[in-house]
Chain A
């Protein structure tokens, strides 16, 4: 089961109602919002409607909101080696 990872990169402001409605149906409320949908002809048709506004990747697994956040978080760059007595 593969998924489309859809990210809205261009805003839908000022676009026709039909286009904005597709974005709403996909759940893309603002730029850089990311959603996951299974690969189906229906979703493909929806993406074709907004293809100028989104970037699409095909992924194996749909990530949760927390996993998306963790993806963006940079590495700490340190760890506690020896702890002082407390």
Chain B
């Protein structure tokens, strides 16, 4: 049972990668930090542009459509919609380049 050559999943089955389906609390904390960093960039842009009384479509659209970090539900922060998954949800880390792209809204009802 114990010892150097015990039959573990990776030894008996060959290639086996185990990816936890949820994020750890530290990964979640860093994810929130990244979301807030993007929020602060948008806030800075908005403040600077309103000072000069200019509006930009990109900033306005983002403000209209995207929730800030505090408004998001935890489900949306750490997982995304996927129609092929069992409960239509998968971890956000499955999204390619997930630490450098914005993915905040999901289809309503899922």
Contacts and interface: CB of A to CB of B under 8 A. Distances in A.
Q: How large is the interface on B (under 10, 10 to 19, 20 to 34, 35 or more residues)?
A: 20 to 34
A68 interface: no
B38 interface: yes
A58 B44 contact: yes
Contacts of A40: 54
B37 A48 contact: no
B58 A52 contact: no
Interface of A is mostly: mixed
Interface stretch (B2-10, B19-27, B86-94, B95-103): B95-103
B41 interface: yes
B64 to A, nearest CB: 13
A36 interface: no
A48 B61 CA distance: 11
Contacts, number: 62
B100 A52 contact: yes
Interface of B is mostly: helix
Contacts of A51: 38, 41-42, 102
A55 B52 CA distance: 20
Given A44-B58, A51-B102, A39 B97 contact: no
A28 interface: no
Most buried by A among B34, B42, B54, B58: B58
Nearest to A6: B41
A48 B62 contact: yes
A4 B47 CA distance: 11
Nearest to A5: B44
Interface in A1-41: 2, 4, 10, 14-15, 39-41
Given A44-B56, A45-B57, 8 more contacts: A2-B51, A2-B52, A4-B48, A39-B52, A39-B54, A41-B54, A44-B59, A55-B37
